[in-house]
């Protein structure tokens, strides 16, 4: 019998992964647009950029992304976490359109739909493959996978 390993708290962590990644990238984008183009001859500008509020917020959010991503990997498969959290790309597209007022082409909207379909697909399946600990046990008994 399959037993679910995904609790409400774990879903919240996956949502935090998506939001921190999407908002972090968007904040970095806003910050670096305000800083302007950085020349290879003036790399010190990058250090100065870290001290600007948007870039600093972006870095903090990306640190939050990495911490929550590692937490997710401690109880779910890589092949579950990566597609499930790729919904962050969709959030970036929505933030680009409605916050930064950038033009989002038809092909990008189709991309958003295709990613959403992929996320829907993987989240309907099991989240974790138990690694067999006792070689004497048959494969069926050791491969309990979470399902919801």
Q: Which residues bind another protein (CB under 8 A)?
A: 9, 70-71, 73-75, 77-83, 86, 89, 93, 105, 107-108, 110-119, 121-122, 124-126, 129, 131, 143, 145
Cβ of residue 142: shortest distance to another protein, in angstroms? 11
Beta bridge partners, 145, equal 129
Q: What is the DSSP letter of 130?
A: P
Tokens of 46: 């990058």
Cβ of residue 98: shortest distance to another protein, in angstroms? 16
Q: What DSSP assignment string belongs to 57-113? A: HHHHHHHHHHHHHHHHHTTS-HHHHHHHHTHHHHHHHHHHHHTS-----HHHHHHHH
Cβ of residue 103: shortest distance to another protein, in angstroms? 13
Question: Is there a contact between 140 and 89 (Cβ–Cβ < 8 Å)?
Answer: no
Q: Which is nearer to another protein, 41 or 117 (CB)?
A: 117
Q: Which is nearer to another protein, 59 or 115 (CB)?
A: 115
Q: Which is nearer to another protein, 53 or 70 (CB)?
A: 70
Q: Which is nearer to another protein, 39 or 105 (CB)?
A: 105
Rg (CA), the chain: 20
Cβ of residue 101: shortest distance to another protein, in angstroms? 18
């Amino acid at each position: 019998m399959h037993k679910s390993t995904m609790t409400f708290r774990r879903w919240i962590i996956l949502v935090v992964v998506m939001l921190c990644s999407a908002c972090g990238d968007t904040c970095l984008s806003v910050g670096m647009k305000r800083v302007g183009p950085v020349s290879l001859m003036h790399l010190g500008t990058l250090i100065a950029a870290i001290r600007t509020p948007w870039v600093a917020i972006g870095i903090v959010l990306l640190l939050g992304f990495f911490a929550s991503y590692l937490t997710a990997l401690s109880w779910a498969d890589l092949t579950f976490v990566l597609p499930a959290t790729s919904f962050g790309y969709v959030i970036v597209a929505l933030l680009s359109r409605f916050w930064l007022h950038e033009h989002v082409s038809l092909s990008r909207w189709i991309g958003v739909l295709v990613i959403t379909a992929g996320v829907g697909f993987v989240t309907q399946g099991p989240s974790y493959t138990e690694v067999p600990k006792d070689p004497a046990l048959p494969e069926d008994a050791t491969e309990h996978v979470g399902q919801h």
